Amino acid sequence: MPKVVVIGSLNMDLIVRAERRPATGETVMGSDFHVLPGGKGLNQAVAAARLGADTHMVGRVGDDDFGRRLRAFIAAERVGDAHVHASPGVATGVAVITLVDGDNTIVVASGANMLVTSGDVDALPVSQSDICVGQFEVPMATTEAAFRRARAAGARTLLNAAPAQALPPSLLEVVDILIVNEHELTILSGATITEASTDADIADAARRLVSSGRSVIATLGARGALAVDGNGVHLVAGHKVTVVDTTGAGDCFVGALAATLAAGTALPAALERATTAAAISVQRLGAAPSMPTLAELENSRS
Mean pLDDT of the chain: 94
**Mean of pLDDT values over 67-81:** 97
Does the pLDDT value for residue 83 go beyond 80? yes
**Mean local confidence (pLDDT), 249-268:** 96
pLDDT category, 231, cuts 50, 70, 90? Answer: confident
96, part of any domain: no
Please report whether residue 194 resides in a domain.
yes
Give the contacts of 103 (CB within 8 A, at least 6 positions apart): 243, 246
Is residue 98 in some structural domain? Answer: no
Question: Considering the domain boundaries, does residue 217 fall inside one?
Answer: yes
Establish if 16 belongs to a structural domain.
no
Could you tell me which of 89, 90, 107 has the C-alpha nearest to residue 98? 107
pLDDT at position 67 is 97
pLDDT at 149: 97
Averaged pLDDT for residues 201-222: 92
Return d(Cα 53, Cα 43) in angstroms, integer: 14
The pLDDT of 117-133, averaged and rounded, is 95
Assess whether 251 carries a catalytic annotation.
yes
Q: Domain of residue 264: give its range.
A: 3-8+40-90+114-301
Task: Please indicate whether residue 195 or residue 268 has the higher confidence score (pLDDT).
Answer: 268
Percent of the chain with pLDDT over 90: 87
Pairwise CA distance, residues 36 & 168, whole Å: 33
| 149 located within any domain | yes
105 by Cβ neighbours in 10 Å (0-12 / 13-18 / 19+) ranks as exposed
196 occurs within a structural domain: yes
Say whether pLDDT at 301 is over 80. Answer: no
Residue 82 has pLDDT above 90, yes or no: yes
Give the pLDDT band (50/70/90) at residue 29. very high
Closest CA to 253 of 227, 229, 232, 272: 272
CA 174 to chain centre: 18
Among 120, 176, 245, 251, the one annotated catalytic: 251
Judge whether residue 212 has pLDDT over 80: no
Into how many domains does the chain fold?
Answer: 1
- Checking if the pLDDT of 302 tops 70, the result is no
> Looking at the domain assignment, is residue 33 inside a domain?
no
Whether the link from the prior residue into 163 is cis, omega within 30° of 0, is: yes
Average pLDDT over residues 44-57: 98
CATH number (domain holding residue 212): 3.40.1190.20
Dist CA 257 CA 5 (whole Å):
13
179 or 246, which is more confident: 179
